[in-house]
Structures are given as structure tokens and as C-alpha cells.
Structure 1
């Protein structure tokens, strides 16, 4: 006899929704990495996975970096958990915590590809608090708040 749901899903009825919000968060970062590597969100799906403060902050960052001729190479890594999920709300809501590791994500000058000088005391692995909402069938990241503490 083959069970219709995995053991973990029967133990956690929200497992599918948690996977969906984590997938949206991962896609949000994949699209941000594309945008930051070219200094522009045009041609990416950032707006499909981000809204509100998260989208406006990304656009603002890109504008500031572009004005300085800065792009990125590489990409950050993540260890993300869903801390709260309210799938039954009118607008479903999730709160995530991410340990973002930016060690492999470098800021460089677009023309020369020379690295941008960064503060030696900056955190490269830090906690980020994230909020997401489900708009229609799509989870969207609405806030991304880096914390001043390492993980």
C-alpha cells in the first residue's frame, strides 16, 4: 500500500504551503542575483516574487549601485526556515528567518571588475527576517529586514 501523502506532510498539514513560500523566497533571490549582476531588474522576474518594501528596496539598491558603476558577481547562500504560516487568512502570510551568507557574493566595479572596498568589520553571515504574502496563487516577498547579528 502506497501512502497518498508523505509522513512529514501528514504530521505537518502546512508542509506544502511552507515548501511553496520557501520556493518563492529562493526564486526571489535567484532573480535578485540576476538583477544585481547586471545592475538592472529589467529582464528578470524580481517583480513576480517581490512586492511592497522588498521590491522598492531592491529597485532603490540597484539604482544606487548603478549610479556608482557597481554590479555583483557570485551569489549568496541561505539557510531559511518558515517560523510562522497563516495560510487561512484573507491574505495568507508567512514569516521566515534566513541565515544569509554573502561570502560568495562580491561587489565589483562593472567596467574594471575590480572589487569594491568593503568595511572589514561588516557581517558576511547574518540573520534576515522576511515576511511573505500570498497574492492570488503567488507567494511574494514583501519585507526583507537584515539584522545586525551574525548566524
Structure 2
């Protein structure tokens, strides 16, 4: 689904600058997906953390229900954060991450079609490798 890839493109831009301003994230995200990103960005901002690079993903449409009043889709993704690094904005030094942190993990996604635009409404990372 193109919307999910665009959602991640815009999200990576927001994390790189520490803010959604100047991105098109709200065009591709709504509900919990948008609010959790905004909350996460606020938390990282207070810690002086931004990102470099971007995650990659391998996405599969799990189910599609175009006939509902609000068409919906469920996706599964193998998110790979190998090239997505968290750094301290001022020093550029990497943020130390836990050794047990999953680099490639399964993510469940819910999307809805609002008018002519698909929106990512929920993204749930799972604690299992892919």
C-alpha cells in the first residue's frame, strides 16, 4: 500500500527534524498513528534526540474491506530499523540503545479510506522478530 510507504517517508522526515511541521504526515496518518507519533516526537524533543536515515519495510496487505461504510485494510510489516539511527541533536552522538532491542520486527497496521485518501490510523509494533 503506497499510503503506508508515504506515511513512513513523512514520519522519517518528522523524526529527523524533531517535529511534524513542514511534513505531510497528517495527509497519510490519523487517529492513534498520528497522535502517538506526535507524542513520541515531543518526548524525543525534550531529550534533544532526532534521527538520521530511515527504516525500510516489507509490507503485506493482510485483509482489505472496500465495501464497508469506511473502507479498511489491515497490513503486516517487517520493519527494519538498521539504518534508522537516534542521535543527540547538539552533539550528533548516537543514543545508546539496549542490546536486546529488536532491529527487525513485525508491525501490525490498520488503515482506513477517508474520502479518496487512505490514512494509517494505527501502527502496533510487536515484540517479535521477522
TM-score (structure 1 length as normaliser): 0.86
Q: Does 1:89 align with 2:68?
A: yes
The structural deviation recorded for 1:37 is 0.1
Residue 143 of structure 1 corresponds to 122
Q: Does 1:44 align with 2:28?
A: no
Distance (Å, rounded) in 2 between the aligned partners of 1:139 and 1:89: 14
Pair member with larger Rg:
1
The 4+ residue runs of structure 1 with deviation greater than 6 A are none
Partner of 1:67: helix, strand, or coil? Answer: helix
Residue 56 of structure 1 corresponds to 35
Residue 80 of structure 1 corresponds to 59
Q: Does 1:31 align with 2:10?
A: yes
1:54-133 correspondence to structure 2 within 5 Å: 54-133=33-112
Q: Counting strand residues as a fraction of each chain, which structure ranks higher?
A: 2
Distance (Å, rounded) in 2 between the aligned partners of 1:91 and 1:82: 17
Partner of 1:114: helix, strand, or coil? Answer: coil
In structure 2, runs of 5+ residues without a counterpart are none
In structure 1, runs of 5+ residues without a counterpart are 1-21
| CA RMSD between the two structures | 0.4
Distance (Å, rounded) in 2 between the aligned partners of 1:134 and 1:111: 40
Partner of 1:58: helix, strand, or coil? Answer: helix
Distance (Å, rounded) in 2 between the aligned partners of 1:79 and 1:40: 26
The structural deviation recorded for 1:99 is 0.1
Distance (Å, rounded) in 2 between the aligned partners of 1:62 and 1:23: 24
The superposition leaves residues 14-33 of structure 1 with CA deviations (integer Å, 9 ceiling, x where unpaired) of: xxxxxxxx100000000000
| Residue-pair matches, total | 130
The superposition leaves residues 67-101 of structure 1 with CA deviations (integer Å, 9 ceiling, x where unpaired) of: 00000001101000001000011100000000000
